[in-house]
Chain A
Amino acid sequence: MGEARPSPDPTRASLAAQAVGQFSMFVEITIYVEGVLPSVAVCSYGSTLRYKTIERIKPIGKHSLLGASGEISDFQEILRYLDELILYDNMWDDGNSLGPKELHNYLTRVMYNRRNKFNPLWNSLVLGGVKNGQKYLGMVSMIGVSFEENHVATGFGNHLARPILRDEWNENLSFEDAVKLLEKCMRVLLYRDRSPVNKLQIVKITEEGTTNFPPYSLKTFWGFESYENPTVGEEGLW
C-alpha cells in the first residue's frame, strides 16, 4: 500500500496512507461447527516490518470475529466504533445481542459512507461468527463492496489462496482439516508474497465462544534439487 499521494487537505487525509498497515493475506473459512481465521501477525511501515506482534483479529461482542488488512489505525478506529455499538446494544439489556450479520451490515454502511465522502477507511475487513447455530462469513472492502461467502481472503490472498479454497473447500471440513487447508494457503502466500513473516495466528469461533491460539510458524521447504545448482550444464548463465 503506499502508492497514495500526500494531500494537504485534512478532510482527505486518509488518502495519504503513509503510516501504513499491511497487506494481509489472511484467509478465512467457515466450516462445520466453527469458523476459523488465520492471519499473519505483522504490521509494516512502508516496506519495513515494524511491529511483529500485532493481533489483527479481534472478537466483537459474543458472536463474531473481525479481522482486517490495510491501515492499522483505521482498523483501530473501526474497533472503537464497534465498541460503542456493542456497548449501546448491551445497555438495552434485552437478552438479544448483535450477531455477525448485523455487524456486517453496520460495517458495510460505515465503509460505504466514508467512501462517498472521499475519506475511506483504508481496510479490507473480514467478519465471521456463529449465532444461534448459524455460521456467517463476510467481507467488506475499502470502497464498501460487501458479500458473504464460504471462504474469503484479502489482499494477495484473493489471487493465491482463493483458487485453492475454491477447489478444496467443502461443507464438512473438520477443524483439523480446515486448519490444514488454511496452512496450505498460508504457505503458498508465504512463498509468493513479499510482505508476510512466518508467524501465523489462528482464531476459532464457535457457538460457545472464541478460542485464540498462540502464534506459530509454518514449515517451509526449500530443498529442491534444482535450487542447489541451477546453472548446472550452463556455466555462466544468469
Chain B
Amino acid sequence: MSKEMVDLPPKGGFSFDLCRRNDMLAKKGAKPPSFRKTGTTIVGLIFQDGVILGADTRATEGPIVCDKNCEKIHYMAPNIYCCGAGTAADTEAVTDMVSSQLQLHRYHTGRESRVVTALTLLKRHLFNYQGHVQAALVLGGVDFTGPHLHTIYPHGSTDTLPFATMGSGSLAAMSVFESKFREGLTRDEGIQLVAEAICSGIFNDLGSGSNVDICVITKGHKEYLRNHLLPNPRTYVSEKGYPFPKKTEVLLTKITPLKQKVEIIEAGDAMEE
C-alpha cells in the first residue's frame, strides 16, 4: 500500500474495503453476526382530521425475539411521527438524524416543520446509500397544508397514499385495509381500523407480535397511545404462587466494627521529582 493511500482522510459514505475479506470468511464458514431486525407490521392511514400511525412491538434477531416491547413509532417533529421497519439500527439512526435536522431547520425558519421536508431529507439520505441503509418507513404528520402520509422504501423511492403498510406483516395488514378502508373515517373508527390491521399482522405474521402502539396526529395536537392494545398477555400464572421467600433470609446478625487503618508517614525526604 502506498503511503498516500494511508494518509488520505476518510470521505463520507460507506467504505467497502472489507467486503472481499468478508466474502472469503463467509466461504470458509464464518457466519457474520445477525442484525436486529424489526420484522414488523407498520401502518398508517389518513382520517378526516389527520393521520393515524400504528405499529407492533416485536424486535427480532433472526429467529429470536430480542425485544418484546420496543417502540417503532419515532418522533420527528411535534407534528410529524415516523414508523420504521427493517434493520432497527438503521431506522433509529435515520429518524434521529432527520429529526435533529428538522429541529435546526425550525430554528432557522421559525416555522412548523412540513412533512415533505422530512420526506425529502429521508429520501435523499436513503437514495445516497443505494438501499444499503435498510430502513422502510411510514411517515405521517399534519402541517399547515393538511394531513400527509408517505411511505419510504430503503432504496429511496416514496409514495403518497391515503393508507399504507410496510414490514413483513404488510400483506396481512393491507388485506384489512383494502377491504375496510374508506375516506372520511372518524377518529375512533380510524383507531379501530389501525388496531385491527396491526392485530392482523401480529396474528398472521411471525415477524410481528406483542402489542399495538398507536399515534394519532391532528392539527396542533398529537396523542401517542403506547401499548394501546395488549392482545398477548401472559396467560398462565401459577395460582399456588412461588414457595420461596422474596428476600434473602437473614440467618445471623453480627456487627464487627472495622479496624482503623493507621498510616505511618516516614519523616524522610520528599519524593524526588
- Which residues does A use to contact B, with CB under 8 Å? 156, 159-164, 166-167, 184-185, 187-188, 191-192, 224-227, 230-234, 237-238
Contacts and interface: CB of A to CB of B under 8 A. Distances in A.
A29 B9 CA distance: 65
B69 interface: no
B160 A159 contact: no
Nearest to A191: B178
B171 interface: yes
B178 A167 contact: no
Interface string B155-183: 00010111000000001101110110001
Contacts of A231: 160
Interface residues of B, number: 22
B244 to A, nearest CB: 42
Interface of B: 46, 114, 116, 119, 145-146, 148, 158, 160-162, 171-172, 174-176, 178-179, 183, 200, 203-204
Contact of A160 (B116, B175, B203): B175
29 contacts: A156-B171, A159-B171, A159-B172, A160-B171, A160-B175, A161-B175, A162-B204, A163-B176, A163-B200, A164-B176, A167-B200, A185-B175, A185-B179, A187-B178, A188-B174, A188-B175, A192-B171, A192-B178, A224-B162, A224-B183, A225-B162, A226-B160, A226-B161, A227-B162, A232-B145, A233-B145, A233-B148, A234-B116, A237-B119
A188 B200 CA distance: 14
A37 B204 CA distance: 22
Nearest to A189: B175
Secondary structure class of chain A's binding surface, majority of residues: helix
Contacts of B146: 232-233
Contacts of A234: 114, 116, 145, 148
B158 to A, nearest CB: 7
A237 B179 CA distance: 28
Contacts of B183: 224-226
Contact of B175 (A163, A230, A233, A237): A163
Nearest to B171: A159
A163 B178 contact: no
Residue in B179, B203, B204 whose Cβ sees the most chain A Cβ within 10 Å: B179
Residue in B116, B158, B171, B175 whose Cβ sees the most chain A Cβ within 10 Å: B175
Contact of A188 (B119, B145, B179): B179
Given A187-B179, A233-B145, A166 B174 contact: no
Contacts of B203: 163, 166
Contacts of A156: 171
A168 to B, nearest CB: 9
Contact of A230 (B119, B160, B174): B160
B159 to A, nearest CB: 8
A237 B200 CA distance: 32
Contacts of B179: 164, 184-185, 187-188
